[in-house]
Structure 1
């Protein structure tokens, strides 16, 4: 009974900065890691268990997931901005600036991954901040179009030799599009828009 209740318990509403940060963190990690693991298993086929048991491949997966995490933050962050922008009007830039702080706070939750190194990790943070800043320079995109500029970079991070990837880019891009649409639907279902907007604006005033 307890397991049943856990599985079907409503997820908490997103009504403040901390809850939004937790949502962005979890969903960004999910979208990039799930793609890496599932793609690697699909390419390895019957040898997946053997491959994942190899230390060298495990290190490659670790490297790939940390490199891809900032891309997940960029995609989920832009999706959240699009939801907020739909009713933000003239305050869109204000919301974007506060959302950027929330997204960067998620990035800063994690120490420098040893597999990445400090210089590359700090560069990834700067690139993430720049990508989010550019979001305010154009109209909000359709959710399914948000992964487009990052899909090739993400696919190139797969821990599978490029000669073995075949023509799988389209599949990976479609995975990102569908996954981000599902994340969008969850945000809409859980978001208390009025409370979240107040929390973001309060941060700007502070």
Structure 2
């Protein structure tokens, strides 16, 4: 059990939680905005941005809510356990939303709907297989992953709009899973949902700019 005054341990935990955000943001010149011209590049984009949105949305909200007491929370093992579980639910929800949006872009770019469906299902399975069931995840992770699979299997790709309409799972996941008392979340819910949707705007702009739908279609093998 972490002791109440183990500030070094708390700092270490915070630093670990921010690794994905640092990589995505390119601290030290590592920003990644490469063209997306094949299925593997698209899978990398979707997975990395899902991780980024999941962590920055969750930790940003908790930091705002806790204020100056934010570092103290990481000295509590119970809180850290809940936060880690929430992180993985946010990742699944973000993966779901961005996969739907990406598939919609491919369909509007001229890729046949059945090919979009086959490719997005395959890319999702590869990502989930590589991730497995994280040790930090809770008992609901597998069931949640199943819901993501079902959504991708049933999405009518040609009907996905180029807007925030398909980004509804990630805001809902933050409201449901963030480790904060229910009375406070009721007060924050509208702001929380809008904040997550706002965080997706840059990701959507990047994917629109970087995605070559015709090249991805040519590179895809059923």
Same-fold status (TM-score > 0.5): yes
Find the partner of 1:113 among 110, 134, 151.
134
The answer for unaligned runs of 5 or more in structure 1 is none
Aligned pair 1:32/2:54, yes or no? yes
Aligned partners of 1:143 and 1:177 also within 8 Å: no
Measure, in 2, the Cα distance between the counterparts of 1:137 and 1:9.
Answer: 30
Cα distance in 2, alignment partners of residues 143 and 179 from structure 1: 13
TM-score with structure 1 length normalisation?
0.84
1:58 pairs with 2:88: no
For 1:164, the equivalent position in structure 2 comes to 184
- Report if the CA contact (8 A) 2:57-2:199 is conserved: no
What is the distance in 2 between the residues matched to 1:169 and 1:10? 32
- Map of 2:109 onto structure 1: 87
* Equivalent in 186, 202, 211 of residue 182 of structure 1: 202
The match for 2:149 is 129
* Residue aligned with 2:74, SS: helix
Inter-partner Cα distance in structure 2 for 1:9 and 1:156: 31
Is this contact kept in 1: 2:85–2:137, CA < 8 A? yes
Offset at residue 63 of structure 1 (A): 0.8
**2:95 aligned partner:** 73
Aligned residues: 197
Aligned mates of 2:152, 2:30 — CA distance in 1:
34
Does 1:14 pair with 2:36?
A: yes
2:119 corresponds to 1:104: no
Q: Give SS of 1:15's match.
A: coil
Q: TM-score, normalised by structure 2?
A: 0.79
Q: Which has the higher contact order (CA 8 A, sep 6+)?
A: 1
SS for the counterpart of 2:29 is helix
RMSD over aligned Cα atoms: 2.5
2: distance between equivalents of 1:10 and 1:69?
19
Question: 1:120/1:152 Cα in 2 relative to 1: closer, same or farther (>3 Å)?
Answer: closer
State how far apart, in whole Å, the 1-side matches of 2:154 and 2:45 are. Answer: 22
Partner of 2:201, secondary structure, is: helix
Contact 2:35-2:212 at 8 Å conserved across structures: yes
Matches of 1:76 and 1:189, distance apart in 2: 15
Please say if residues 144 and 178 of structure 1, whose CA atoms lie closer than 8 Å, have aligned partners that are also in contact. Answer: no
